[in-house]
Structure 1
Amino acid sequence: MYPPYASKMPLRLSSPSRGFAVRKPRNSRPIIISALTVAIIFLVWFQSDQAILSLHKPTSTSTKLPSPANSTLGFGAIIAVSPPNSKRRHGLLQAANVTELDITIPELPIWTEEDVEQFRSQQAPTEMRFPMIAAWMSHLRVLEWFLSTDLETAMILEDDMDWDMRARSLQVPRAATALRALFHATPEAPHSYYPHPSHWDVLYLGHFDRWAWFGHEAGVGVQLPSDLQGAQAFADDTLPPRYNMLPNVASILTALDVPPFTRVVHPSRQPFGTWAYAVNRRSAAKILSDEVGSPRAPKWVSDSFDNTMVRACENGLLRCWTVFPEIFHHREGLLTSMINLPDEFKPTKLVEELRNRTGETDGIGCGFASGVLNFGDDKEELERLRDGARRGVSLQKKTMAATQTDAQVAELCRQAFEAEHYSRFKEAFDQHGKATIALNKLADDAKFLDRERKQIARKQAKFHSTKRKIL
């Protein structure tokens, strides 16, 4: 049985109080009562806030690690799109070894100008660049290879992908549970890890989900929580905090009112980037058809395989579902990528500063791009990293990357290195600490007021005694 990770979105936590300031009163008795009243109110607030906090915690059954996905993440195979002699394969295989994934790499041809011109001659405009067409043809060739097997499903993975070392042990099992909940599937049924292929065509696990076409606004002020109807939210504290996400992703999550450390499975909107997507036999054949992605399919002036997939999802030719934020993301800064983005799509200075600060791939909590988790030929280090990945915790590499100090690496994976519920425990602990400080201050103020009251009482008694003597 798989634990019920998929659930309705939890309530947000209310903001903790910053404490109370108590002034010295003229009339001490009412103020003492007021101070005690405030203390009682604070205790009631704190207890109620703790009750809200408890809704964020998994149930007793879900505190255990979910059953990990198999070595192909529950699909028939993981198939990489990787050109011959690709320099990106080393990073792909290092990450696959740590997370113990089996990745199949079909042989692709070295595309020539003649191949590209033949593709253009059928339907492609002359404005389509060589890298775009080469990537398009590579995806088609991999899908053809998939259909040549007897596999029912497969995840197609571009070879410049990065992912969290807990993808197999935590992230994918939680996403699969959410998908099953959407379609009311059970783990015991056939095709049990994911809903039956008759219910879906494409599952996007790696993408750049903009929720709008390029040039259109998205995020706060555009999307609304009601846009998530038909979606399934699930807790995933392996996500980076919002301040370490791309600004547009953080803005979309905020606009949709998705709580922190939560992913959503939803009907696809504009899932740009065919970085990691699952298909079945029916959908693979559909993508290869003239309706969607063949060389004879209709194309835009400057088109790409990513765009034709988005159009097919929007037009209902493919039934597409997206895990948002994504689990797989392409590594930035790879000049040898199959598709070099034009200048208008290059990262802004703000995004570059974010990447330099975290040292991580966009949206990844503790991945492989920084080099911290590379093991080289060290088998003992590989086994240590595998053990951490199996247990769902990230481990800090003893030998740091040459460009990073120990402190930078420790900060880089701080949340990931801690136990699974570190952030929630810390939040509760911080609130408890603030409550303790506030109550101690109230107690000190109450003692001060009590001393003042006694001193006033003594002065009053002395005054009345003196008054009687005078009279």
Structure 2
Amino acid sequence: MDRRSQRALLLVLFFGVAVILYRSLGVTDHIRQRGGRYKVAPDDHTSLQLDPRKLNPANSTLGFGAVLAVSREGSPRRESLLLASNITEIDITIPVQPKWTDEDVNKLRADRDSRISKGSALAWLGHLNALRWFLSTDLESVMILEDDVDWDIHLRTVQIPTAAAAIRQLVLDKTSPEGNLAHVPKENNFWGNISTWDILYLGHCGDIFRPSSWTSQVPRVLYPDSTLPPRREMHPYTQKFLNSIAVPEDTRMIHQSIFPLCTFGFAITRNAALRLLTDIAHKEAEGGTMAYDVRVLEGCRDLGLRCWSANPELFHHMDMESEIALATHPEVGQGGSGGENQEKAGVDDKGRLKTLRAGAAPNIACGARSKSFYTTDPRTLEYLREQVGRQGKCLKDIEEPGSKVVPDEDRYEGPGDPRLYR
């Protein structure tokens, strides 16, 4: 064999050994690019076969110490929020907010190059108030909702139990972080060992990222969820995103957060709440921060918070009048959060998914805050609690497209009967 052939053989052997070592170290990400677009190999996914019938419904606080709502005194959103919580049997606590002053807003602003509007600052202060309420108790975790969010009627009975099972699977082999914790929680609970996570983004306006970020190094669990809306009825951006990373139809996933926008509904532990209040989100970052949720995202992405996202989300905001916009520009009356542009699929100027139609929340199949469920009659409320909340029947008014009359034996005929249809 001449010298040139020997050199070629050595090069082949060298590259062969290099490839074997590369794969054995587990650094391949299995992301394959085809036709200029990234696709994720199916074997990248860790699938969890869950039978919701074998899982007990969550308790009235969804497995957390409490469910809090950030809502100012006199908010017009409260009535429908509390009615939905009553129908789905979720206990919501609303911490009392003080009347915020201009001095409070100015203390929150960055010392230089502040970018936050007055409305966003007031919303930020409301969130900090909820965190202080949490730390004034002996609770280990809370779920914090914004008062304009909607959720599916199957949230407590199906969606939360399956999401919690996925979280337990993800943190099963994880231990507490090194170092001293301000609070040492119990080893195990409904949401796994909560010393192993900081924030659970169960509600957001899109943890959407480039498929090239979806490598095998991102921990995740996928599981079937028949309560999701059909893919074709989801927000177009969500459809495109899920298809781009090869998530099957009728499948939800829990994954390490990558770019979670909005704090519509997120769970938090005591240690994480303390960090937000004293280190991360106690005020606007120097150089400016557009909103509280952006600062929390930065805490997850850049500052060491251990965050997980449900995708698609379990909570999303409805098309309601923007209190942030009204607080910032009180001279401008609004009939919704987007007017004619709301009919166009897309995102707002901050990258958040917009609602597509009035009174609806993206990616929620049967919202608990549907106008069809409005009632002030106690007997009608009990009927809704049984039929909608416990049995999961998505009742609709007869005027709604595709509705069917409820059989006579199922229809409530007492005082205040809202003539519900499904």
Normalization by structure 2: what TM-score?
0.71
Distance 1:405 1:112 in 2: 45
Q: CA deviation at 1:392?
A: 4.6
Other-structure match for 1:365: 365
Which residue does 2:379 correspond to in 1? 380
Matches within 5 A, 1:288-367: 288-290=277-279, 292-295=280-283, 298-336=285-323, 346=338, 347=341, 349-351=343-345, 355-356=356-357, 360-367=360-367
Letter in 1 for 2:57: P
Q: Residues 126 and 310 from structure 1, CA distance in 2 versus in 1: closer, same or farther, beyond 3 angstroms?
A: closer
Deviation per residue, 1:287-315 (Å, 9 max, x gap): 1123x1012x6244352111111111011
Residue 206 of structure 1 pairs with residue 197 of structure 2: no
Identical-pair percentage: 35
Distance 2:203 2:355 in 1: 20
Report the residue type matching 2:132 in the other structure. E
**Structure 2 residue aligned with 1:405, among 399, 407, 411?**
399
| Corresponding residue of 1:39 | none
Say whether the 8 Å CA contact 1:87–1:336 is kept in structure 2: no
Matched, 1:181 2:181: no
Structure 2: segments with no counterpart, 5+ residues: 1-46, 174-185, 347-353, 407-422
CA contact (8 A) 2:264 2:315 kept: yes
Corresponding residue SS for 1:279: strand
Shift of 1:124: 6.2
Q: Note if contact 2:113-2:288 (Cα within 8 Å) is conserved in structure 1.
A: yes
Matching of residues 269-288 of structure 1 within 5 Å = 269-288=258-277
In the other structure, the counterpart of 1:103 is 92
Q: How many residues align?
A: 335
Query: Is residue 258 of structure 2 the alignment partner of residue 257 of structure 1?
Result: no
Structure 1: which amino acid aligns with 2:69? A
Whether the 8 Å CA contact 1:68–1:173 is kept in 2: the answer is: yes
Q: Point out the structure with max Rg over C-alpha.
A: 1
SS in 2 for 1:288: helix
What amino acid sits opposite 1:169 in the alignment? T
Deviations 1:369-388 (A, max 9, x none): 440122x2222222222223
The structure-2 alpha-carbon separation of the partners of 1:360 and 1:227, relative to structure 1 and needing over 3 Å to count, comes to: farther
2:351: which partner in 1?
A: none
Aligned with residue 142 of structure 1, among 115, 120, 130: 130
8 Å contact kept, 2:141–2:270: yes
- Name the amino acid aligned to 1:197: I
Residues of 1 paired with 2:327 and 2:238: CA distance? 22
Whichever residue aligns with residue 360 of structure 2, its letter is E
Q: Are the aligned partners of 2:355 and 2:361 in contact in 1 as well (CA < 8 Å)?
A: no
Q: Does 1:197 align with 2:191?
A: no
Would the aligned equivalents of 1:197 and 1:280 in 2 still touch at CA under 8 Å?
yes
How far apart, in 1, do the equivalents of 2:223 and 2:378 lie? 35
Distance in 1 between the 2:313 and 2:154 partners?
A: 14
1: distance between equivalents of 2:360 and 2:195? Answer: 37
1:38-53 aligned within 5 A: none
Tell me how large the CA RMSD over aligned residues is.
Answer: 3.3
SS in 2 for 1:273: coil
Q: How far off its partner does 1:98 sit?
A: 0.3
Q: Residue in 2 aligned with 1:161?
A: 149
- 1:166 offset after TM fit, Å? 0.9
Give the letter aligned to residue 379 of structure 2.
E
What is the match of residue 393 of structure 1? 392
Question: 1:300, 1:236 → 2: CA distance?
Answer: 42
Q: Post-superposition shift, 1:350? A: 2.8
Aligned match of 1:11: none
**Partner residue of 2:106 out of 105, 117, 132:** 117
Long gaps (5+) in structure 1 = 1-55, 213-217, 414-471
Q: Which structure shows the bigger proportion of residues in helix conformation? A: 1
C-alpha contact (below 8 Å) 1:160/1:337 kept by paired residues: no
